[in-house]
Structure 1
């Protein structure tokens, strides 16, 4: 069975001066720094391709920030940008609100805070993993069909769906402290496969220097 890799890329910094938990809301585009991150990601994959990487497909969540992050990479690789709705941001009760810590003190929200293991304020972690894994399999198989042995697929998604998918891949519990997610802006979580068998997970931050001072508010 052919070896392959799927790279799950988190989008770049979002223009969000009011620090809204934007979730699935439309219209949240990248900041100037976010566009720099998108260009850096494109450069990263272009260099990989020049070094022999067999990158076959680029896809992204339908949300604007993901599309804007993925577009330079697709252009740099000469590939069509595919839309992948299964890797969209998680649903969240607090979507559209700002000052979330203050909101947590409002009793009307307390029924949504009773079970952090589910989590009760949004989409189940298991549901997120299921849909992202489905997308990973589809784009992995498409990449292999197009380019054969060693094919790679790039998918731009969002922090929480990527992080819980990684936890699942590593056999770890899905519940976690959001402050401890290893999934920075414009980071890459790479899933390596031998046929359909997952053989390893790698994490990298091509935009590490751009993270200094970046607004890193989780979308969900």
Structure 2
């Protein structure tokens, strides 16, 4: 036997009053609202047989995994492969998007949006995420698995499984704070079977500017 479902969970809102593009910079934990978001994600799966739990090593992911650990009585297994992608904008305080062209120092970084030239290649993100998902599925004797990760890695899995190009407009990602993207194994591949936004009622008060 192996896992019946894989839930890819995004972390909650980060305490980031200076709007830093935090990426992998340490020390960025959840805000009070973010903790509530994370709790709502775990609560959304009460009644499901969640039997294994993984999280990115970054503080915001570990803190977002904590309600799952408490709710389901599970150890948090840290997996480096589901971490936020590295990028060259870490530490900057301007919003990542079309307005980046107003910053000449960034022009070389955005010369190739298809790879992308400013950070970890999309294909490499897919490769490590799918390896982590495969291992989590195989390591779980029964029940469902939660992997607490980040927006771009989860969105890359979505586009990969949907057969869509990996390059995209970051403003159009469907991966809200504390959202849950669910996969199921069918034959020799994974398919996406559900998307939930249990923290939707909290979104209007949240800030989501820390990653690219």
Question: Does TM, normalized by the shorter one, top 0.5?
Answer: yes
1:2–1:194: 8 Å Cα contact kept in structure 2?
no
Instruction: Determine the C-alpha separation between the residues in 1 that align with 2:73 and 2:186.
Output: 26
Distance 1:200 1:108, change over 3 A: closer
Shift of 1:38: 1.4
Equivalent of 1:83 in 59, 78, 85:
78
Higher deviation after alignment, 2-11 or 192-201:
192-201
1:5–1:152: 8 Å Cα contact kept in structure 2?
yes
Instruction: Determine the C-alpha separation between the residues in 2 that align with 1:5 and 1:107.
Output: 45
Instruction: Determine the C-alpha separation between the residues in 1 that align with 2:156 and 2:119.
Output: 14
The residue aligned with 2:134 is: 137
Instruction: Determine the C-alpha separation between the residues in 1 that align with 2:139 and 2:34.
Output: 29
1:4–1:194: 8 Å Cα contact kept in structure 2?
no
The residue aligned with 2:115 is: 118
2:16–2:210: 8 Å Cα contact kept in structure 1?
no
The residue aligned with 1:216 is: 208
Instruction: Determine the C-alpha separation between the residues in 1 that align with 2:156 and 2:95.
Output: 21
Instruction: Determine the C-alpha separation between the residues in 2 that align with 1:201 and 1:124.
Output: 26
Q: Segments of 4+ in structure 1 off by > 6 A?
A: none
TM-score (norm 1): 0.90
Instruction: Determine the C-alpha separation between the residues in 2 that align with 1:2 and 1:76.
Output: 22
Distance 1:86 1:204, change over 3 A: same
Shift of 1:79: 0.8
Secondary structure of 1:82's partner? strand
1:94–1:100: 8 Å Cα contact kept in structure 2?
no
The residue aligned with 1:59 is: 54
Shift of 1:107: 2.4
The residue aligned with 1:71 is: 66
Secondary structure of 2:44's partner? helix
List alignment gaps of at least 5 residues for structure 2: none
Equivalent of 2:105 in 105, 108, 127:
108
1:128 counterpart = 2:120: no
1:159 counterpart = 2:156: no
Higher deviation after alignment, 102-111 or 207-216:
102-111
Instruction: Determine the C-alpha separation between the residues in 2 that align with 1:164 and 1:68.
Output: 23
2:2–2:139: 8 Å Cα contact kept in structure 1?
no
List alignment gaps of at least 5 residues for structure 1: none
